[in-house]
């Protein structure tokens, strides 16, 4: 796998997973709420916060159907996207807030105009939403900018994904590919953990998961299977408003996810030598293992049999595993009851 560099962080084998908290439209068009999400993401320890930049006039038409008719104030999907828009200066403020808190600011563009707007802010990477994978002109425009491209795959066939990867690489942009199932929420049997290895083998780049299961389980499992990027939707509360809430985790869960990703990654990237580990545990072995102990007083000249001994901690005497080597041997000294036997006690 070839590593990539994103905002000064290396993503790939031997490096901690890069955790992205997806806000999408959960701010519901409220700028203050969007800033509150940034604060919460930083507090949970994620690496990046991601929004979606929609410009209604540039990306959709009034005839676009609802995926879910959730809004009581927007007559059409177009109206909803219009209400989700922030101005260039507002996006700049969100990016600056994220950067001040040590977060990488990301936002998926859904039009050429959105790319232009975000370019002015200075995007450090571009996350491509599943629905844009076949939008070759958009991919070409983004890849030509040179920043890493994080490609989602939720709605794509292998052929479409191959073509998108080729388009991005033809422009020289660094690449990572995400396994994604576009179901909200996504049930366990559709998470597609098996696809991670195929993505890695097929494209030779860092792979990630865009997890919509509303749990931390799929993401943690993906890290154990080699994912180096994790993206999850987040919400302040499971009862919050918005179409993405059913596929989101809370910030308490996000914090646990970040900790779990770091733990699993460290465990995988630091293989243990079993023999050396056992050698290093000499003190613990002496405390927890068992020695051969005289069950009763034994006289000098006694031929040892199994009824004469028991096995007790600490393991500083003859190991219990060696008992067969002692049976039938003659004692050359008297042994008091409950005394650890030593090799020097025998002829």
Tally of CB atoms within 10 A around 182: 18
Tokens matching residue 192: 């597609």
By the 8 A CB rule, do 222 and 211 touch? yes
The tally of CA atoms less than 13 A away on the side-chain side of residue 16 is 14
Tally of CB atoms within 10 A around 295: 15
Which among 36, 5, 41 has a CA at the least distance from the CA of 20?
Answer: 41
Sign of CA dihedral 311, 313, 315, 317: negative
Cβ within 8 Å of residue 249, ≥6 positions away: 214, 215, 216, 232, 233, 234, 235, 257
DSSP string across 190-238: GS-TTHHHHHHHHH-S-EEEEE-SSSSHHHHHHHHTT--EEEEEEES-T
Tokens matching residue 263: 């733990």
Which among 153, 162, 147, 266 has a CA at the least distance from the CA of 204?
Answer: 162
The predicted structure's pLDDT at residue 62:
83
By the 8 A CB rule, do 118 and 53 touch? yes
Torsions phi, psi for 340 (to 5 deg): -65, 135
CA distance 211 to 191: 7
**Which CATH architecture does the domain made up of 276-345 adopt?**
Alpha-Beta Complex (3.90)
- Which of helix, strand or coil describes residue 109? strand
Where in the chain do CATH 3.20.20.70 domains reside?
Answer: 8-269
Specify the pairing of strand 309-312 against strand 291-294.
antiparallel
Specify the pairing of strand 207-211 against strand 126-128.
unpaired
pLDDT 10s digit of each residue in the chain, 347 long? 689 999 999 999 999 999 999 999 999 999 999 999 999 999 999 999 999 999 999 999 888 898 888 888 988 989 999 999 999 999 999 999 999 999 999 999 999 999 999 999 999 999 999 999 999 999 999 999 999 999 999 999 999 999 999 999 999 999 999 999 999 999 999 999 999 999 999 999 999 999 999 999 999 999 999 999 999 999 999 999 888 999 999 999 999 999 999 999 999 999 999 898 888 898 898 899 999 999 999 999 999 999 999 999 999 999 999 999 999 999 999 999 999 999 999 99
Q: What are residue 294's DSSP bridge partners? A: 309
Location of structure tokens 């990016």:
95
pTM, full prediction: 0.88
Helix axes 31-44, 88-100, angle to 10 degrees: 20
Return the DSSP state at 346: B
Q: What are residue 209's DSSP bridge partners? A: 179, 230
CA distance 30 to 83: 9
Tally of CB atoms within 10 A around 255: 17
Q: Is 331 left (phi over 0), alpha (psi -120 to 50) or beta?
A: beta
Where in the chain do CATH 3.90.1210.10 domains reside?
Answer: 276-345
CA distance 138 to 205: 21
When the candidates are 3.40.50.360, 3.20.20.70, 3.90.1150.10, 1.10.150.570, the CATH number that belongs to 8-269 is 3.20.20.70
């Amino acid at each position: 796998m070839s590593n990539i560099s994103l905002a000064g962080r290396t993503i790939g084998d031997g490096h901690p997973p890069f955790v992205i908290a997806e806000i999408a439209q959960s701010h519901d068009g409220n700028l203050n709420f969007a800033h509150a999400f940034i604060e919460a993401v930083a507090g949970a320890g994620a690496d990046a916060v991601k929004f979606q930049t929609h410009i209604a006039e540039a990306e959709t038409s009034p005839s676009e159907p609802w995926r879910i008719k959730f809004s009581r104030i927007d007559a059409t999907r177009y109206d909803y996207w219009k209400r989700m828009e922030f101005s260039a200066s507002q996006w700049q403020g969100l990016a600056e807030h994220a950067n001040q808190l040590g977060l990488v600011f990301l936002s998926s563009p859904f039009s050429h105009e959105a790319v232009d707007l975000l370019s002015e802010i200075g995007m450090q990477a571009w996350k491509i939403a599943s629905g844009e994978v076949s939008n070759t002109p958009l991919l070409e425009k983004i890849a030509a900018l040179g920043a890493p491209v994080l490609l989602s795959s939720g709605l794509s066939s292998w052929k479409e994904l191959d073509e998108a990867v080729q388009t991005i690489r033809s422009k020289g942009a660094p690449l990572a590919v995400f396994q994604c199932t576009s179901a909200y929420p996504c049930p366990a049997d559709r998470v597609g953990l098996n696809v991670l290895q195929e993505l890695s083998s097929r494209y030779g780049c860092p792979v990630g998961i865009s997890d919509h299961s509303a749990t931390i389980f799929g993401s943690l499992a993906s890290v154990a299977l080699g994912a180096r990027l994790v993206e999850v939707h987040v919400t302040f509360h499971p009862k919050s408003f918005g179409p993405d809430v059913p596929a989101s985790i809370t910030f308490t869960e996000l914090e646990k996810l970040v900790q779990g990703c770091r733990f699993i990654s460290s465990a995988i990237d630091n293989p243990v030598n079993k023999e050396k580990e056992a050698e290093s545990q000499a003190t613990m072995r002496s405390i927890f293992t068992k020695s051969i102990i005289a069950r009763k007083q034994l006289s000098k000249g006694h031929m040892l049999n199994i009824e004469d001994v028991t096995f007790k901690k600490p393991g500083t005497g003859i190991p219990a595993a060696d008992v067969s080597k002692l049976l039938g041997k003659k004692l050359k000294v008297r042994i008091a009851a409950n005394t650890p036997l030593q090799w020097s006690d025998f002829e």
